[in-house]
Amino acid sequence: MQGFPGGLPDLAHLQATMNAIEHACSLIQMHMNPAEAESVIASLHSSHMPYQTCRFIIETSKVPNARFQAAGAIGDAAIREWGILIDENKRSLIIFCLQYVMEHASAPDAYVQSKVSAVAARLLKRGWLGNLVCCMHILMCMSLFIG
């Protein structure tokens, strides 16, 4: 997970967080204990530097709603923490989102791809205003990935 903001992830912590988010998503779907479930999901969205955890959930979880929530948490945190992220981190987040969307374009849970795509668009827009060179580099990398 090189280039992603945050420290080196602990696999046990990543797995435990993913399990908690997946459980919260299932509670919401079953209309059981929504306050607790929303609290768990809100804690992910408000976490400081949740990028490694969210990436793990997006890449590993079999629960589409968990991936959707993790994508939203990346977007929320990146906008909130934009000023403390270095350009490499910003670039890595945007490229991860764009690659995920392209690699999963035909997946049945299109709403997850739409969310990840929306996060990439938010970050690109935010970056475009702050660092044109960084955004141009991202677009160049993506054209190489596509081509």
Please give the Cα distance from 88 to 115 (Å, whole number). Answer: 22
pLDDT profile of the chain (147 residues), mean per 10 = 70 95 94 90 94 96 97 95 89 90 89 93 75 56 53
- For residue 135, tell me if it sits in a domain: yes
pLDDT score, position 126: 80
- For residue 92, tell me if it sits in a domain: yes
- For residue 58, tell me if it sits in a domain: yes
- For residue 93, tell me if it sits in a domain: yes
pLDDT score, position 134: 54
pLDDT score, position 96: 92
Look up the domain containing 112 and give its range: 11-146
- For residue 86, tell me if it sits in a domain: yes
Number of independent structural domains in the chain: 1
